[in-house]
Amino acid sequence: MQQGEVYFLKLSNGEDLLCQLIGDEENHLYITQPYRVELMQSPATMTVTTTIMPWLPFDSLMDECLYLDKKNILTYMIVDDIVSSKYLNTISDELRKEREQAMERLKQAAQVIQRVAANTYGSLH
């Protein structure tokens, strides 16, 4: 397996993942940004689309280097350029949203600090 490439993994529990390979050792892989691949059928049009969703419940864990035992992998393959590009764009969009949310939280914290400082300063006089 090639480091840095985007892979499709079929796991023994039935889950399908897209992830980026960080390392490949004899009995395990190191991956990052794992996304679960799901097929969704539209009830109105009966068309099936493929969607990807974060595999881990916490955004902060998605950036971590994750250990995956090869015993849990049924099959794997490098995805084509189109799928790889969509996957990488999804990651970029998610990271941009996280940064925007973090900036908003910082702004809110700064406003709270300013109010506390104003109240504290005002009470000293």
Give the pLDDT of residue 43: 83
User: 124 pLDDT exceeds 60?
Assistant: no
Q: What mean pLDDT comes out for the span 77-86?
A: 90
Give the pLDDT of residue 56: 86
Give the pLDDT of residue 78: 93
C-alpha angle 61/85/14, rounded to 5°?
55
User: 69 pLDDT exceeds 90?
Assistant: yes
User: 50 pLDDT exceeds 60?
Assistant: yes
Which CATH architecture group holds 6-124? Roll (2.30)
DSSP letters for 45-107: T--EEEEEEESSS-HHHHTS-EEEEGGGEEEEEEPPHHHHHHHHHHHHHHHHHHHHHHHHHHH
Q: How many residues comprise the chain?
A: 125
Highest mean pLDDT among 42-51, 89-98, 103-112: 42-51
What is the pTM (predicted TM-score) of this model? 0.68
Domain ranges of the chain: 6-124
